[in-house]
């Protein structure tokens, strides 16, 4: 699939067919996640993988907030990936460079940024493979995260940033209804409302000169 087609077709799919995914597809999704940018090549992210109904049941048991009707159709997804950020490699790397000593010294939390880059590559790779994907939170607030980590053995100091349900889109996927499509199209911001050229609030590129 052409890259522009992948970008154009990417959307959140909320309903899945329960068909298992081929092993080579799962391996490709995870391998592509490792190709994203990594500040200082610190690579401070991991993926917790739940492949098949036995493993995905463990994930859903650890996310009690997801028992409601809103998530019902996502629960049939045959694959769940949980991207997990780890600050320690970044702090160690930049301390060695003499630039920063603690996580608070970073101008932005690079570990979250890099983990989000990896998650986006998963979303795009799913589209390229003819699959649907749904990125969602593992807790309605951050207060639920420690229990989630404990239930699934995620080490202290590691931070799950969300979860990605992946599978073949169901024929009755709620995100495909005309009402949903119309709402999303109406809510997408125009590019001229988000672009600022040279200074905040400047809506058109500066002249390049005579």
Over residues 65-106, the pLDDT tens digits come to 777 777 888 899 999 999 999 999 999 999 999 999 899 999
At 69 the pLDDT is 73
What pLDDT is attached to residue 210? Answer: 44
pLDDT of residue 173: 66
Place of tokens 């699959």: 131
| Angle 96-99-100 from CA coordinates, rounded to 5° | 90
> Which pLDDT score, from 0 to 100, does residue 106 have?
93
- Residue ranges in the chain modelled with pLDDT below 50: 210
Please give the pLDDT value at position 118: 97
State if pTM tops 0.75.
Answer: yes
How would CATH label the architecture of 3-173?
3-Layer(aba) Sandwich (3.40)
Task: Give the pLDDT score at 21.
Answer: 96
CA distance 8 to 124: 10
Predicted pLDDT at 203: 83
């Amino acid at each position: 699939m052409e890259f522009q087609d992948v970008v154009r077709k990417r959307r959140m799919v909320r309903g899945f067919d329960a068909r298992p995914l081929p092993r080579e597809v799962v391996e490709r999704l995870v391998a592509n996640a490792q190709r994203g940018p990594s500040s200082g090549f610190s690579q401070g992210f991991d993926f917790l993988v739940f492949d098949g109904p036995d493993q995905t049941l463990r994930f859903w048991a650890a996310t009690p907030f997801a028992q409601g009707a809103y998530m019902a159709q996502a629960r049939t997804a045959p694959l769940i990936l949980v991207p997990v950020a780890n600050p320690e490699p970044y702090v160690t790397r930049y301390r060695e460079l003499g630039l920063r000593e603690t996580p608070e010294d970073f101008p932005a939390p690079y570990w979250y940024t890099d983990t989000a880059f990896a998650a986006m590559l998963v979303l795009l790779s799913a589209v390229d493979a003819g699959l649907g994907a749904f990125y969602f939170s593992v807790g309605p607030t951050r207060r639920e995260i420690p229990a989630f980590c404990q239930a699934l053995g995620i080490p202290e100091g590691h931070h799950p940033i969300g979860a990605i349900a992946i599978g073949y889109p169901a024929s009755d996927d709620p995100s495909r209804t005309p009402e949903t499509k119309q709402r999303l199209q109406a809510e997408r911001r125009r590019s001229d409302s988000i672009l600022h050229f040279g200074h905040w609030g400047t809506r058109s590129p500066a002249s390049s000169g005579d």
